[in-house]
Structure 1
Amino acid sequence: MSTELQETVLKLTSLKPLVKGGVDSTGAQFLPESTKARFDKYGVDYSNGYPVAPDTSEIPVFVDEVLKVRNKEVPYIERGKNADPEKKALFGAAKEVIHLTKHIGTEIVGLQLSDLTDQQRDELALLIAERVVVYFRDQDLSPQKQLEIGQYFGPVEVHPQGGRVPLEHGGVHVIWMDQAKRKGFLKTSFKKTGGTAHWHTDLTHEFQPPGITHLHNDAIPNVGGDTVWVSGYAAFDKLSPAFQKFLEGKKAVYKSLHGYIDRENPLSGPKNIEREHPIIRTHPATGWKSLFVNRAYTTRIVGLEPRESDLILEYLFGVFEKNLDIQVRFNWKPTKAGLGTSALWDNRISQHYAIWDHEGEEPRHGTRVSSLAEVPYFDPGSKSQREALGLSLD
């Protein structure tokens, strides 16, 4: 890059046209009352603005800078791998265990996440690996304890520019579409939804994408605001054996949500971070195969012609989105006033969709902690879920 061009680029990046950092100085006044009560109880100081993000000067601008943030394998312990298959410690302490559908979704009644022992956490990790998503209503949960639980399951992701709860550790992220719309970051209406109101899997562009993600909603609409999850295990089992074999061993390209500047071609506009992962991946706890693509962030299949890739991906996206029997829709509303609801799901084996039917007329606010997992891999000796459970493959 010439000196003159480099100076121009530095001037452009000093304006930070691609990022929005710092603190939302007016956001705290719009916080839902239930969120304020939770934060006040657990000593979260939002008086100087909410949410917070890194200062604009600290946010990476160039693609190569962002790749360096997490570009080497870090140790990961799969907590569910050696857990009691019968989950006696977890189930024995619960008042009720409710399987919401045949293929996905379980609700645990009568337990506080903040009180779980390590043995119960391990068994919960295995349950999530088997049932994809697990729910806990009526939770009195601090953001600090939510972070601690996330750190137990794996290294907690800290986003280079995402909005956060004002804690020393930046890994408790804010999920608050109302605020994004108010600030003009998000154009959402009845006819055009956005934000998390689309099928996606979180952070699939990461070198080690998340395993267990924990969203705790502390402000929930009286009606609406549901979320839908879908199973990657069951999506794989929907495919013909010949198609399964075709996909096994192939990789796809996964892009980031945010764009950054290409240092070698700085005037070409924002570029997404891209990484390759297996289309079919094996879960380390269950050993089951899962289909690992999503419409939001999977861009192409490596080695195929563009039209071939587009046709195949469109079909695979439809397997997730059109098969209601492998989905679960969950309403977050707690049974006790003043408490919140938690969902813990495995990003390796799922997609989800936050439904915008409440249209922001009632507040919806949550805090999310994502625990990074292993580098995605495919084990040719692994089985599908139905094969492993001895179910019909027809």
Structure 2
Amino acid sequence: MRIDRCSAALGAILTGVDLAAGVDDETFDAIQDAFLTYQVICIRGQQAMTPDDQLAFAARWGEVSVHPYVPSIEGHPGVMKIHEPTPLTQRWHADTTHAEQPPALSMLLARVIPEVGGDTMWSNAAQAYDDLSPGLRATLGTLRAVHQGTTLAQSAGLDRRAVTQTHPVVRTHPVTGRKALFVNGDYTSHIDGWSPEESAPLLEYLYARVGRAEYVYRHKWQVGDLVIWDNRCTQHAVVGDTGGAERVLHRVTLFGDRPV
């Protein structure tokens, strides 16, 4: 297996691995080490993987999560079909942070990719936090934020209270111990105990901070790319420039722990 870094901030491409054929424990451990080191890894050339293969590989990482209101593909609970970019996916966000235990990681397998456009960007939310002033880091460490499900949750008939959680503005990674910003434009509504109007200037500053170019890796998809990202310390956004061309990816998400 070969590992090539993609940017100074985060990201690496892994080659020389055939996941459909299965990998031994030593190779799997090396993949996990790369994941923790680079936060986003692309295991290239996995177009032979079936949905069952993807679920089996995901199960080696932990418990597969079935999304509460976005349907799975038929016959494969836990595999979501991702289509063209939407306003929600084009904003910087971590996945499903309105859950009590937001996902630990997600893995996205590229099935159909347009000739141009549809890249996905990932940002290192831990580095974005590290580079803040000591005073702001200290202040953020005392704050919690309210996260709420999107309009899709309401459309599915879920009560708002069932998709509302309060999490720390800065969370600590349960494995590496590193701190990262944990607020995002899709799910965070306000700072707990503050009004939305009072919260907006600080939250907008933090969202913009996450999106700064020096913290970002932009991935140009190839069919067969399996990208795995750490939802606890990164955020991502799709570039909405497909021009309506077909774009199909299969996503599997793993349960995480309660942020602290």
TM-score, scaled to structure 2: 0.91
Letter in 1 for 2:10: I
1:274 and 2:167 correspond: no
**Per-residue Cα deviation, 1:208-247 (whole angstroms, up to 9, x for no partner):** 1111100001101122211100011111012101100111
Could you tell me how far apart the structure 2 residues matched to 1:261 and 1:135 are? Answer: 36
Distance 1:166 1:305, change over 3 A: closer
**Per-residue Cα deviation, 1:161-207 (whole angstroms, up to 9, x for no partner):** 3232222x411111123xxxxxxxxxx8xxxx525222221111111
**Per-residue Cα deviation, 1:133-185 (whole angstroms, up to 9, x for no partner):** 10022112111111112222222111233232222x411111123xxxxxxxx
Could you tell me how far apart the structure 2 residues matched to 1:316 and 1:281 are? Answer: 14
Look up the match of 2:221. Answer: 332
Could you tell me how far apart the structure 1 residues matched to 2:68 and 2:105 are? Answer: 20
Look up the match of 1:90. Answer: none
**Aligned equivalent of 2:209, options 316, 319, 324:** 319
2:225 partner SS = strand
Distance 1:326 1:134, change over 3 A: same
Distance 1:102 1:273, change over 3 A: same
Could you tell me how far apart the structure 1 residues matched to 2:142 and 2:35 are? Answer: 25
Letter in 1 for 2:29: D
Letter in 1 for 2:63: P
Distance 1:272 1:316, change over 3 A: farther
Letter in 2 for 1:367: H
Could you tell me how far apart the structure 1 residues matched to 2:108 and 2:158 are? Answer: 33
In the TM superposition, structure 1's runs of 4+ consecutive aligned residues that sit over 4 Å from their partners are 260-263
Could you tell me how far apart the structure 1 residues matched to 2:71 and 2:244 are? Answer: 19
Contact 1:232 1:320 in 2 (8 A): yes
**Aligned equivalent of 2:13, options 86, 107, 111:** 107
1:302 and 2:192 correspond: yes
Q: Provide structure 1 residue ranges, at least 5 long, that are not aligned to the other structure.
A: 1-93, 178-187, 264-269, 335-339, 378-394
1:125 partner SS = helix
1:370 and 2:253 correspond: yes
The CA deviation at 1:116 is 2.3
Distance 1:373 1:367, change over 3 A: same
Look up the match of 1:347. Answer: 231
Could you tell me how far apart the structure 2 residues matched to 1:261 and 1:368 are? Answer: 23
Look up the match of 1:126. Answer: 33
Could you tell me how far apart the structure 1 residues matched to 2:158 and 2:88 are? Answer: 25
Could you tell me how far apart the structure 1 residues matched to 2:158 and 2:132 are? Answer: 38
Could you tell me how far apart the structure 2 residues matched to 1:226 and 1:344 are? Answer: 15
> Percent identity among equivalent residues?
34
1:284 partner SS = coil
Contact 2:88 2:186 in 1 (8 A): no
Contact 2:92 2:237 in 1 (8 A): yes
Contact 1:280 1:292 in 2 (8 A): yes
1:244 and 2:133 correspond: no
Q: Provide structure 2 residue ranges, at least 5 long, that are not aligned to the other structure.
A: none
Contact 1:261 1:271 in 2 (8 A): no
Between structure 1 and structure 2, the one with the greater Rg is 1
The CA deviation at 1:344 is 0.3
Bigger relative contact order (CA 8 A; separation at least 6) = 2
2:78 partner SS = coil
Could you tell me how far apart the structure 1 residues matched to 2:185 and 2:35 are? Answer: 23
Could you tell me how far apart the structure 1 residues matched to 2:252 and 2:64 are? Answer: 7
Contact 1:231 1:351 in 2 (8 A): yes
1:256 and 2:149 correspond: yes
Look up the match of 1:152. Answer: 60
Number of residue-to-residue matches in the alignment: 255
Please state which structure has a larger fraction of its residues in helix: 1
TM-score, scaled to structure 1: 0.61
Letter in 1 for 2:217: V
Contact 1:222 1:333 in 2 (8 A): no
Please state which structure has a larger fraction of its residues in strand: 2
